[in-house]
Amino acid sequence: MKWPWTLQPFIFYPQGGGQNGDQGWLRAGAEEWTVTGTRLDKASGVVWHAVAGELPPVDTQLSGEVDAHSRLRQMARHTGEHLLAQAFARINPAFEVAAVGMRGPDCTLDLRGSPSEADAQVAEALLREVMVAGPLTLETQLVPHTELGRYPLRRATPLTGDVQLVIFRDTAGELFDVSACAGTHLPLGNLAAPVTVLGLEHIRAGLTRVTFRAGPEAAEYLGEVYRSARALAQGFNTGVAELPERVEALRSERDRLAAEQSRLRAALAAALVTAAPVEAYGPVQLRVLSLPDAGLLPAALSEVPAGEVRAAVAGERCSVGSGVPELDAGALLRAALTVSGGKGGGRAELAQGQTQQPEQFLAEVRRAVAEKASWSYVCHSRR
């Protein structure tokens, strides 16, 4: 991006105040340059235009066209921001704006006073009522800063000199919102409808971020959400309104099935453990299992009784459980993995890992148990 030259007077609105700069086109005869952004140099008052590609030669006479599509969306975001901030302020004057963001479709209002989800719903409804009651007209006035005290400004301004006031009046002619602002706004506040709060987030002490959409970006989003919800509902043979109930029923069913699966796994694992032949190595009993499902491993390896060691594989998963204090499950697993390849670890009672050679893993556990058990037996016998 280049910021090499200036245009003055400008028709493109520069980036600032949480709002994007205008985009559009500059033309000279048949030639056209795309403006990708604009910025204001506050010191000189010059608006710098960034253009894609090569620059027009110096002294070229240009005409400019603002991208109306993106500008209208920007105006809707900004208008929605004023009106929603005012709606929050009317619910509770403590809900003051600390910062705003309007650079993307998801706009933000950072509010003091910790508004809740319920407050947001009330603010949204209040604004909807004002908007359906009649025109919410925009007027702008240049007012010397010394006279600002005569206006019910929603937010104090540090500006001096002549300050631009952006005023929205309701259908009765009453002031709805008065702000010092130099941004771009829609001529009718109603055109920013719908203004929809998407969510609230506590961002730091005393500051809550309200995310919202306004105007066409809100309407498109709500339409998309509805279409997704309808497709989901059709998949469940129900209506959109019944979705929460259907999802709740499915959640209960899922929990019931999970509990049942857990019980069945435990029963199957117990049966497989009982069916596995017991191999005796001195005082140690070894059970070796090849399980059909890795989900059975936890149940098959839990509560290994005293005097027993269990080794199990399921696919590439492997596990060792030990009820013999002298035979550490973690040490047995790691020793077997050293030969069979793989990785894993664990505690003295239970260890888990993965190997691509499950049969070799089991053979190595068997060999290690046989060796260590007879050594342990010899040691015990000598005592």
Query: By the criterion CB under 5 A, which residues form the site for Zn ion?
Result: 78, 181, 183
Q: Smaller CB distance to Zn ion: residue 179 or 355? A: 179
- Shortest Å distance, C-beta 181 to Zn ion: 3
| Cα–Cα nearest to 6, from 42, 34, 52, 41 | 41
Contact between 333 and 343 under an 8 Å Cβ cutoff? The reply is no
Q: Smaller CB distance to Zn ion: residue 180 or 273? A: 180
| Cα–Cα distance measured from residue 107 to residue 187, given in angstroms and rounded to the nearest whole number | 20
Q: Smaller CB distance to Zn ion: residue 35 or 181? A: 181
Contact between 204 and 166 under an 8 Å Cβ cutoff? The reply is no
SS3 state of residue 158: coil
| Cα–Cα nearest to 196, from 209, 213, 184, 180 | 213
Give me the amino acid identity at 218: A
Q: Smaller CB distance to Zn ion: residue 191 or 299? A: 191
- Shortest Å distance, C-beta 215 to Zn ion: 14
- Shortest Å distance, C-beta 113 to Zn ion: 21
- Shortest Å distance, C-beta 88 to Zn ion: 16
Give bridge partners of residue 213 from the DSSP assignment. 196
- Shortest Å distance, C-beta 141 to Zn ion: 13
| Cα–Cα nearest to 349, from 335, 332, 365 | 332
| Cα–Cα distance measured from residue 210 to residue 197, given in angstroms and rounded to the nearest whole number | 7
| Cα–Cα distance measured from residue 8 to residue 45, given in angstroms and rounded to the nearest whole number | 9
Give bridge partners of residue 144 from the DSSP assignment. 162
- Shortest Å distance, C-beta 83 to Zn ion: 10
- Shortest Å distance, C-beta 183 to Zn ion: 4
Question: Which residue number is nearest to Zn ion in terms of Cβ?
Answer: 181
Query: E-assigned strands of the chain?
Result: 6-7, 24-28, 31-41, 46-51, 63-66, 97-101, 107-112, 137-144, 162-169, 175-180, 195-204, 207-214, 278-281, 284-290, 308-314, 317-322, 343-346, 350-354
**Count of alpha carbons within 13 angstroms of residue 38, beta-carbon side:** 26
- Shortest Å distance, C-beta 251 to Zn ion: 44
- Shortest Å distance, C-beta 223 to Zn ion: 27
Q: Smaller CB distance to Zn ion: residue 79 or 285? A: 79
Plot region of 24 (φ>0 → left; ψ -120 to 50 → alpha; else → beta):
left
CA 35 to chain centre: 32
Q: Smaller CB distance to Zn ion: residue 49 or 82? A: 82
Q: Smaller CB distance to Zn ion: residue 47 or 299? A: 47
